[in-house]
Structure 1
Amino acid sequence: MKIKRSKSLSPEPSSSKDTKRIKFEETTNLDRVTSPNILEFSDDVLLNILKYLYPQDLMAVSLCCHRLAQLTQDRTLWRKVDFRTKPMFLNDLNRYMKFLQPITMSLAIHGNFHGKCSALTQRFFENVKTLCNQLKELIIEEYYINGDKCLILSNCQWFTPHSLLVISKIPKLKELRLNSCHRLGECVAYASLATRFGFKTLEILDLRDTALGDSEVGCFSSTKTLTHLYLECPSTLRNEEHLEIMQQQQRQVLQLPIFEDNNLAQFLIEDVFAFDNNGFQRCLISDRAICALGSDSCDRKVINSSPQGMIILQENRRISNNPNLKILVVRNYPRVTNSSLIHLALNASRLEYLDVTGTSVTKDGIESFKSQKTNVKVVSSFDET
Structure 2
Amino acid sequence: MFQAGIPNYRSSDPYYYQYFVCHMCKRKMKVKRSKSLSPEPSSSNEYKRPRIANSGDSDNDYLECRLLNLSDDVLLNIMKFLHPQDLMALSLCCQRLEQVTRDRTLWSNCVDFRTAPTLLEDLEKYVKFFRPMTTRLRIRGNLQSNKHRGLSQSFFSAIRATCQLKELTMEEYDIDADKIQITDFPKMIEKLSLKGCRMHHLQTDKSYFFRMDFHMPNLTCLILSKCNWFYPHSLMVISKMVKLKELRLDSCYRLGECVAYASLATRFGFKSLEILDLRDTGLGDSEICCFSSTKTLTHLYLECPRSPRPVYCYEHEPRPYRPPQQHSTDPRLRVFEDQNILEVNNDRLLIDERRIVPYFDFERCLVSDRAICALGSYVCDRTILNNIQDMIFVEVDRRVVNNPNLKELVVRNYPRVTNQSLVHLAANAPSLEYLDVTGTTVTREGVEMFKSQKPGVTILSSFDET
Tell me if TM exceeds 0.5: yes
SS in structure 1 of the partner of residue 254 of structure 2: coil
Q: Deviations over 1:12-64 (max 9, x none)?
A: xxxxxxxxxxxxxxxxxxxxxxxxxxxxxxxxxxxxxxxxxxxxxxx9xxxxx
Residues 52-201 of structure 1 aligned to structure 2 (within 5 Å)? 94=160, 104-107=174-177, 108-110=179-181, 119=187, 121-122=189-190, 125=192, 135-137=198-200, 139=208, 142-143=211-212, 144-201=215-272
Q: Deviations over 1:303-324 (max 9, x none)?
A: 8999xxx998753432211211
SS in structure 2 of the partner of residue 284 of structure 1: coil
SS in structure 1 of the partner of residue 411 of structure 2: strand
Shift of 1:94: 3.5
Once residues 110 and 93 of structure 1 are traced to their aligned partners in structure 2, the CA distance between those partners, rounded to angstroms, is 15
Shift of 1:237: 4.7
Shift of 1:355: 0.3
Matched, 1:370 2:440: no
Which residue of 234, 238, 258 maps to 2:305? 234
Contact residue 367 and residue 416 of structure 2 kept, 8 A: yes
CA RMSD of aligned residues (A): 4.1
Contact residue 79 and residue 101 of structure 1 kept, 8 A: no
Once residues 460 and 284 of structure 2 are traced to their aligned partners in structure 1, the CA distance between those partners, rounded to angstroms, is 22
Residues 175-324 of structure 1 aligned to structure 2 (within 5 Å)? 175-237=246-308, 279-298=361-380, 314-324=395-405
Shift of 1:148: 3.5
Relative to 1, partners in 2 of residues 1:135 and 1:162: Cα closer, same or farther, differing over 3 Å?
same
TM-score, L = length of structure 1: 0.57
Q: Deviations over 1:270-294 (max 9, x none)?
A: xxxxxxxx82322000000000000
Relative to 1, partners in 2 of residues 1:360 and 1:179: Cα closer, same or farther, differing over 3 Å?
same
Contact residue 221 and residue 292 of structure 1 kept, 8 A: yes
Contact residue 154 and residue 181 of structure 1 kept, 8 A: yes
Between Structure 1 and Structure 2, which shows a larger proportion of helix residues?
A: 1
Counterpart position of 1:356:
437
Shift of 1:176: 0.7
Relative to 1, partners in 2 of residues 1:140 and 1:293: Cα closer, same or farther, differing over 3 Å?
closer
Once residues 295 and 118 of structure 1 are traced to their aligned partners in structure 2, the CA distance between those partners, rounded to angstroms, is 40
Relative to 1, partners in 2 of residues 1:339 and 1:170: Cα closer, same or farther, differing over 3 Å?
same
Structure 1, unpaired ranges of 5+: 1-58, 60-74, 239-277
Shift of 1:301: 8.9
Shift of 1:343: 0.7
Higher relative contact order (CA closer than 8 Å, sequence separation 6+): 1
Once residues 360 and 235 of structure 1 are traced to their aligned partners in structure 2, the CA distance between those partners, rounded to angstroms, is 16
Q: Deviations over 1:158-196 (max 9, x none)?
A: 211011111100001111111111111110000000000
Contact residue 303 and residue 313 of structure 1 kept, 8 A: yes
Once residues 171 and 233 of structure 2 are traced to their aligned partners in structure 1, the CA distance between those partners, rounded to angstroms, is 29
Shift of 1:141: 5.3
Identity of aligned residues (%): 58
Partner amino acid, structure 2, of 1:326: K
Compare 294-303 and 143-152 and name the one that shifted more.
294-303
Compare 324-333 and 312-321 and name the one that shifted more.
312-321
Contact residue 376 and residue 401 of structure 2 kept, 8 A: yes
Partner amino acid, structure 2, of 1:145: M
Contact residue 197 and residue 227 of structure 2 kept, 8 A: no
SS in structure 2 of the partner of residue 329 of structure 1: strand
Relative to 1, partners in 2 of residues 1:334 and 1:111: Cα closer, same or farther, differing over 3 Å?
closer
TM-score, L = length of structure 2: 0.47
Q: Deviations over 1:64-120 (max 9, x none)?
A: xxxxxxxxxxx999956796xxxx9x85773699xx99874524435779xxx9736
Contact residue 286 and residue 336 of structure 1 kept, 8 A: yes
**Aligned length in residues:** 255
Larger Rg: 1
Relative to 1, partners in 2 of residues 1:305 and 1:234: Cα closer, same or farther, differing over 3 Å?
same
Structure 2, unpaired ranges of 5+: 1-123, 125-144, 164-169, 203-207, 310-359
SS in structure 2 of the partner of residue 205 of structure 1: strand
Relative to 1, partners in 2 of residues 1:101 and 1:219: Cα closer, same or farther, differing over 3 Å?
closer
Which residue of 327, 334, 344 maps to 2:408? 327
Contact residue 79 and residue 106 of structure 1 kept, 8 A: no
Contact residue 109 and residue 141 of structure 1 kept, 8 A: no
